[in-house]
Structure 1
């Protein structure tokens, strides 16, 4: 049975949904982490599919949904530290983590910070950084593109800015890059999320640097979308080459595979979890 709760972690109060394991089920706990300008509600298909099989949690990251932004900087490392504190509060020693996009970046950083706490990673549509190209990285660091967002919000409003961004992405990447359900979540996120938190979220992505692949000790499943941005696919392929225990799968989906193709995503997720549960 779903239980929604809040947990105080230092400077923030975090919103969490929890589903207990059925009696006699002993799978390791599973934590879901959403992408940028989304909320824990994106995981409804996955939590419905897996409910009862193990203890399941879906959390709103710092500044998203019902979780406050707090006073600390919104960085990928800070969001990972928030999640680690949450696991401590919930008395969870070891957990499987499933993240998409920004949530996958947070999951990677969490596994780097606390490798003994992570039993496995499921990373969907996850870049390791905004770019690994050295000259482009230097350009991004100089211009701070996320600083253009407040101007755009003032001129267009947050909803229209989101729609414009999606239209530009569709032209640049392809019409399937953001599916209908993902598009709805994205626009709702821009409508409801505090503008400073949106800017802080994208600054976190811009400033993020790749984790040390050697620090990732657990089994990893990488799920790619066949219509995702080529740069993200390339970074996932590169990450796959650097990790030891890794499996790479591609599904018919754009940038949020769990929303674009939940049936295929859930099959891969369930099989992977069953393979890596304790005997």
Structure 2
């Protein structure tokens, strides 16, 4: 296996987006798109298994990780165009896309607006709509007024993982906690604004790429019902439920990877 250390592109609006490749250059590229409050390391546990089949392209979304953190609200359109500009800069015309949570929302945008750049889509623990919009205004304001990310970090962790993983010093959970605490508040608030303002309930019907929707049976962020509704909206989409909370790729790693690989490598 070959791998490449982190490097970066600069988007049209001047934001530096950090990315990295892992895996054999001769294998199909699978783009991984992350949840709010995480960086490209949220996929670390799946890299070994996924690079048996794909060359992985991971990136830190604007506002997260080593990428720049512009202030103010972000839009889903801007987050999606960050990915398009990344693909353009790397000379990648068509890739598989796997997105979880906000990453799954970005993946939907790609399927709607630039379907020619996408081969197959995996939409995990996500939704076509997370309204009403005004429910996000108070959390955004409170976060920007808070002295740090401590309260928001603990809220995220309790929404992401089951109680058994939150008890004690689970090494994986601690890694996510460190990332959250190191994330700048403006990045999370800007991304929350994108979630507040998006609604793909009608336009998701325009996705015609082969699509797999994965939901977590115990997910309280994007429920199994959200996943079921999304799968019913995307023409021909498949739907599977894993016995997990929100971070299905971490909690149900083996089942998650099996489902993703089986779908992406299936012969047409």
With structure 1 as the length reference, what TM-score do the two structures score?
Answer: 0.84
2:21–2:56: 8 Å Cα contact kept in structure 1? yes
- Structure 2 unmatched ranges of 5 or more: none
Q: Which of 6, 13, 16 matches 1:13?
A: 16
2:245 is paired with a residue whose SS is: coil
Spell out the pairing of 1:37-48 with structure 2 (5 A cutoff).
37-48=37-48
Spell out the pairing of 1:1-279 with structure 2 (5 A cutoff).
1-4=2-5, 5-10=7-12, 11-21=14-24, 25=27, 28-70=28-70, 73-131=73-131, 137=132, 139-140=134-135, 143-151=137-145, 153-154=146-147, 157-163=148-154, 166=157, 169=159, 175=163, 183-210=173-200, 212-229=203-220, 232-275=223-266
Q: Cα distance, 1:209 vs. partner? A: 1.5
- Distance in 2 (CA, whole Å) between partners of 1:230 and 1:162 is 15
Change (3 A) 1:128 1:276: farther
Q: Cα distance, 1:230 vs. partner? A: 7.5
2:221–2:246: 8 Å Cα contact kept in structure 1? no
2:223 is paired with a residue whose SS is: helix
Q: Cα distance, 1:123 vs. partner? A: 1.1
**Aligned-residue CA RMSD in angstroms?**
2.7
1:97–1:107: 8 Å Cα contact kept in structure 2? yes
Residues matched between the structures, number: 262
Cα distance per residue 1:143-180 (max 9 Å; x no partner): 543112123x22xx32244225655x59xx97479895
Q: Cα distance, 1:190 vs. partner? A: 2.7
- Structure 1 unmatched ranges of 5 or more: 132-136
2:24–2:54: 8 Å Cα contact kept in structure 1? yes
Match of 1:134 in 2: none
